[in-house]
Structure formats: structure tokens, C-alpha cells
Chain A
Amino acid sequence: MEKQQYERPLIKRLESKIPNKFGAKPNLIPITHIDEVAVKDLISEHGSPLFVISEKKIRSNIRKARKAFETRYPKVQFAWSYKTNYLDAVCRTFHQEGSWAEVVSDFEYDKALHNGVNGSKIIYNGPDKTPESIKKAIQNNSLIHIDHLDEYYTIQETADALGIKAKVAVRINMDTGVYPMWDRFGFNYENGQAWTVLNKIMRSDVMTLVGLHTHIGTFMLSAIAYGVAASKLADLAIGIRTKYDHQIEYIDMGGGFASVNRLKGSYLPGVDTNPTIDDFAEAITTALINADFKPDELPLLILETGRALIDDAASLLGTVISNKRLSDGRRSTILDIGVNLLFTSFWYEHPITPAQPFTQYTEDTVVYGPLCMNIDVLREHITLPLLNKDDHVVIQYVGAYNMTQWMQFITLRPRIVMIDEKRNVNIIREREHLDRILEFEKVPDHLKKFDL
């Protein structure tokens, strides 16, 4: 007799409260393939957990973003935000698509150089630029975005000593109607700080003011705020033109566009509610075009978009370790993926979908990672089909910040593969080994031996 397919027995109380806190219905179909490659094969070949990046999706995202801006504004340049995901293969995909590099540390700066980006196409942001890296950036003709006055003086001294003019821009923070305001970076627009540093730069004979920069926040759900910010930067640019007869080359609007992810606590998926790249493009370009620039003096528009270009291009595959019942009757599922690999689960509700067929029966579930830590929770509430031990799951929209902010904690970090446009699966980062970790450690002689 042919045996029937097993699904574990399930009983659920019927409740009439809608909507429940578990939010939207789960995906009704399993994710069995990514870019036509079977999840099962990916895991059997490369292990679990496994990060999988779609090169095709990255390329279509950046092309779509470029189109959104380039059809509305004559001069547009994207710069890939390294911290969002600085795997060489990812950066080079963006560079092949024409993006410059945007970096915020000497490590990231060197990585961009290593990737072959010309120094003049590296934007150097952030509050922690070492004197050595400032020197390198001046010599390489990079675009140095000044964050604070101490940095201004370091650049002044370094450029003076080198006898090379530094190309600088100023990071501006401002009130765009979105709170909390990101006022810890750069110089404030409203209180006059911005003009103080702009005046200093314009009087310096070792700096050229090439641009104005802002990054108004992250995962912004308001396109209007970008319009406000662009108007304020345009106002400064026109002020500089009037006061010093100096034309800046670019306005850099930073990053921060919301991706398709869903923030914790919101009922509807991000795909349905967040502004699209076209909405952001419309707000920014309208503000710039409506500003008082002479038509032939429109500045280059730079975008440092990170998460919106990569979140939905990567998934994290994992495996069910166990199903457990909590003391209050709730179902819990333990995956082999912890918050050490999925940092963004602290603020997003990532979709989790089984990678094999399932029935219509579901259970409200808490999804835990494998770490021996109470904080290791991937989803506090999710409605999931009935998973069995060793089943596979696909966690979506993990491309931004996870592969840079992940931690080697309790477990070693897994492999990362990228599926190219010809459906080849390329290993782009190896799994970690104990040996690599031990390479960094040193044991003092007197601790080398012990008897137990």
C-alpha cells in the first residue's frame, strides 16, 4: 500500500478577532527555486545556512533606479554605499552598472581602490576619516565630504603639507519634517553652522568646494522629505553662487530610500505601502528643477542609495532544527539561522517561506535562531505552514547590512553564493573555518598547558 504524505497533526482554536497580531497571511506558495536554481540543490551543495544573491536582480534594481532619475533629470550619478554590502562581487556588479563608490572608513576606502575604482570616483563620507586616509584621498583626487570642523582642520593641514588642493563637499543636516532629525552628522542648515564651514572652505586656498551632501535618514517612508532636503541644498548652492560666484559641481542626496521590507509593527508588507524609487525621484528632481539654478548650471545629482537596491536581491536559506511548544501553548520553530547572521531581524519582519510544498494548514509560530541567547528571535509572530525538522526555509530581503554587520558569534559565518545571469552559482565568500579564527589569536606561553 502506498503510504500517505505525512503532515504533523494540528489543532487550532478558531478565533474571530481580525486582523490578528500575526499580520498578513503567509505566502501561499513555497519558494523552491531562486533564479531557477533549486533551493534544495543550493543547500546540499553549499550547506545551510546559505546567503544567496541574485546578480540579475541587482542589475535590474540599479537599472530601474537609474531610469527613474535619468528620465527626470539630465545629470545623474549613483554611488554604491559600501557599508550596505561590501562584498567585492556585489560592489563590482554595481561598478559595472556605472555606480561610483561611497565609503565611510579607511577600510572601505581601500576596498574601493582594491576593486579598481578610480580615486576621483570615490566619495569619502563619515565622521572617522583617519589622517592617513585623508592624505590618500587628497592625493587620489577623491571627493571628501566634511563631517565636522576637526576634520576640516585636518584636511586643511594635510592639503597644505602636500601642496595639493583637496576636493571637498559639506555634509548638511536639516529639518525635513521627519523626526528624529539626523543632526549628529555634518553641519546644520537652519542654525547657520553650514554657512560657517562653507565660508571657511571658500576662503581656503587648499580646498575646492565641489559639492553639497546630505543623508536625511534611513528607511525613509516619506518622499516629500527628500523634496524639502533637495530644496534646502539648492538654496545653499545658489547662495554660494551669488556670494562667491562659485558654482558647485554636484548635490548628493545620500541614501535612505525604504526598501520592500516591512518594519516591525506595520500590518501591511512594504511592497504595498512604501514609496517607490519613482516617488523619491519625482520629489528630488522636481525640487532641483524648480530651484533657481540657471538651466545650464544644474548640478550633477548624486544618489548613495543602499538598501533599496540590494535588499530584495538576496535571500538567506536555512533549515529547521526543531519544533517546540512553549509553556503558553505557542508553537516555536528553531532554525539554524541566528540574529548573528540576520541583524536586520531586529527591525524588519522578514518574510520566511518554506522551500518545499505545504498544505493550507498553518500555525502561529515564534521563530528562534540557534544561539543560546534569549534575544535570538527572528520573528516574534508569524503564521507558518507546518514545518518538519530538516525542512528548508527561505528568508527574503536580506541583502542590505546583514553581510556587513553579521557577527562571528557562537557559530561560524556561512558561505555566500551569487547566481549570475546565466544561472551559474558562484561562491563569492567562503564559509569561515576555525583555522581562520585562530589565526588572529595568540596564547601566552604560561597558558599553553593545563591538566584537567
Chain B
Amino acid sequence: MDIKKDVAVSDSGFVFYPTTGESFSVNPLGMEIIRLMKDDKSFDKITEYVVDHYNVESSTIEKDLLDFIEMLNHFSLMEDDGEG
């Protein structure tokens, strides 16, 4: 999962992208997922992690994770190939 290397996440839920100077806010699960992505975890691994830790069906998190990645792409925070 190739999130751009210089994307920075703070403990309080802020994401900063120095290249454009833009900042973003994330909710707790969004922050966890960005951290997992920065640790090079695959889509499936992240899904598994969320299902293990949260009260959620895998179909729901799969759909929501795809949506989340779409938003990261939309904000140009993913490496260009975009593939996980």
C-alpha cells in the first residue's frame, strides 16, 4: 500500500503533506490505517487487522477501505501507481 513517504501523521489525528502544504484531519481508524499503510501492510492485512480489532464485517471494511483509499488518491496522497 503505497502512501507517499513524506505524508506525516500526528498523534492527534492530523495529516500533513509538506509537498503541497495541505493538511487533513482523520478519525481514529483513519489514522490507524494510514500508519498500517506506512508500515507497508497490504490491503488484505489491513482488512484482517480491522476485523480482528473492531466490531465489523469484512465486507463492510473492504468497501470502506476502498473508499478511504479512493479519497487518499483524490487528495494525491498515494504514490502514482495507486495499487496496494
Residues of A within 8 A of B (CB): 3-14, 323, 325, 329, 359, 361, 386, 388-389
Contact B27 A325 (CB under 8 A): no
Contact B27 A13 (CB under 8 A): no
Tell me which of A9, A10, A325, A329 has the highest count of chain B C-beta atoms within 10 A of its own C-beta. Answer: A9
Cα–Cα distance between A6 and B75 once the two chains are bound (Å): 24
Q: Which of A3, A14, A359, A389 contacts B24 (CB 8 A)?
A: A14
Cα–Cα distance between A13 and B22 once the two chains are bound (Å): 8
On whether A9 and B53 interact (CB within 8 A), knowing A325-B67, A389-B60, the answer reads no
Residues on A with C-beta less than 8 A from B53 are: 3-4
- Over the window 1-41 of chain B, the binary record of Cβ atoms lying under 8 Å from chain A Cβ atoms (1 yes, 0 no) is 00000000000001100000011111111101110000000
On whether A9 and B27 interact (CB within 8 A), knowing A325-B71, A388-B60, the answer reads yes
Contact B25 A14 (CB under 8 A): yes
**B44 CB within 8 Å of chain A:** no
Contact B55 A11 (CB under 8 A): no
> How far apart are B40's CB and chain A's nearest CB, in angstroms?
18
Residues on B with C-beta less than 8 A from A9 are: 26-27, 29-30, 32-33, 64-65, 68
Q: Can you list the 7 inter-chain pairs with the closest CB atoms, starting with the nearest?
A: A6-B56, A9-B30, A8-B64, A329-B74, A361-B27, A6-B54, A9-B68
Say what secondary structure dominates the interface of chain A.
Answer: loop
On whether A13 and B75 interact (CB within 8 A), knowing A7-B29, A386-B27, the answer reads yes
Q: A8-B68, A9-B26, A388-B60 given. 6 additional CB < 8 A pairs? A: A5-B54, A7-B28, A8-B67, A9-B30, A11-B26, A11-B30
Chain B, interface size category, equals 20 to 34
Contact A10 B55 (CB under 8 A): no
Contact B29 A11 (CB under 8 A): no
Cα–Cα distance between A67 and B34 once the two chains are bound (Å): 59
Contact B29 A8 (CB under 8 A): yes
Contact B54 A11 (CB under 8 A): no
Cα–Cα distance between A7 and B53 once the two chains are bound (Å): 12
Cα–Cα distance between A361 and B68 once the two chains are bound (Å): 14
- Over the window 39-59 of chain B, the binary record of Cβ atoms lying under 8 Å from chain A Cβ atoms (1 yes, 0 no) is 000000000001001111000
On whether A11 and B72 interact (CB within 8 A), knowing A325-B67, A361-B27, A386-B27, the answer reads yes
Cα–Cα distance between A11 and B74 once the two chains are bound (Å): 11
Cα–Cα distance between A434 and B64 once the two chains are bound (Å): 36
**B70 CB within 8 Å of chain A:** yes
Residues on B with C-beta less than 8 A from A8 are: 29, 60, 64, 67-68
